[in-house]
Amino acid sequence: MVSNFHLPPTGFGPGSQPSEEEAGYLPLPSGMRTYSPTLPEVTEAQAVAPALDLLDRIAAAGEASATGQDGASLQLAGLAPEVRRLIAETLGQGEVSMKIGGQPAVAVQESVFAGVWQVLGSGVDRAEIGPVPARALAAFDPVRAPQGPNAPQFPGVVNAPALLVELMDKSASYLPGQAPHVINLTLLPHTEADLAWLDTALGQGSVTILSRGYGNCRVTATATPHVWRVQFFNSMDTLILDTFEVTEMPEVALAAPEDLADSAARLREVMEAIR
């Protein structure tokens, strides 16, 4: 039997397929952060011993926190300038940063060692070691008070009141250690007015967290206890996942025990190289 199937003369081979631009594909991400330790430049020999002593205490606190013990807070204020510089260069800047309101307001920057946080503010300069800085757990102190179901409604509000009832119920019944309760807005029908009304009803808390990496994650505390807004953006800054989480602290902002143990080990390797 003779087949009627024939290959097109230019159907295969180099140049036969459209380019990415012609096909309309989105450009692929061009990079992502990876850990690459950079040894600090030691120009002041007298700074090495006190800096190594403090780094040793940070590593020991990381090892303890990895086993479930309480984290540590170590003062960096008052260190000699050359010691403080060596500490700053060793710790570097990692992927997670926070803004925490209150008296005083502080900025938090995770170091390249996960679970080692640098906390800075008016009269505040310290390192905290643990899953998350202690001040971040007071996230629901209101910057803007919640209005709850009494928030004035306006045109376009459709599904927000039902979502608020669910969030307030889970907030009121939340117990430490419970699994997070997640409402995925990406999968639910809602309007921009719904989101604006929920923002008013839930209020604004005192903590904003940004995690940078392969895309960004923005975590915002509401003023309703245990209720967080968690938004994920891809590498082109397009919102791809929008959720509310009812939990003590969203997992994306936490350093896991494995992270803390790994950070302690890597920090000790850096210390050996400095000696």
Which pLDDT score is estimated for 151?
A: 95
Which pLDDT score is estimated for 40?
A: 60
Distance CA 216, CA 230 (A): 11
Task: Look at residues 250, 263, 218 and name the one whose alpha carbon lies nearest to residue 116.
Answer: 263
pLDDT bracket for residue 39 (50, 70, 90) = low
The string of DSSP letters for 162-178 reads: HHHHHHHHHHHH--TTP
Average pLDDT of the chain? 86
pLDDT bracket for residue 44 (50, 70, 90) = low
CB 230 within 8 Å of CB 217 = yes
What kind and span of H or E run contains 228? strand 227-233
Task: Look at residues 232, 219, 242, 218 and name the one whose alpha carbon lies nearest to residue 163.
Answer: 242
The average pLDDT across 228-249 equals: 95
Q: What is the pLDDT of residues 265-274, one digit of tens each?
A: 999 999 888 7
pLDDT bracket for residue 60 (50, 70, 90) = very high
Q: Residue written as tokens 């009269």?
A: 123
Q: What is the pLDDT of residues 88-113, one digit of tens each?
A: 999 999 999 999 998 899 999 999 99
pLDDT bracket for residue 8 (50, 70, 90) = very low
pLDDT bracket for residue 146 (50, 70, 90) = very high
Indicate whether 28 pLDDT > 80: no
2 half-sphere exposure, CB direction, 13 A CA radius: 1
Which pLDDT score is estimated for 12?
A: 40
pLDDT bracket for residue 118 (50, 70, 90) = very high
Query: Model-level pTM greater than 0.85?
Result: no
The average pLDDT across 186-199 equals: 95
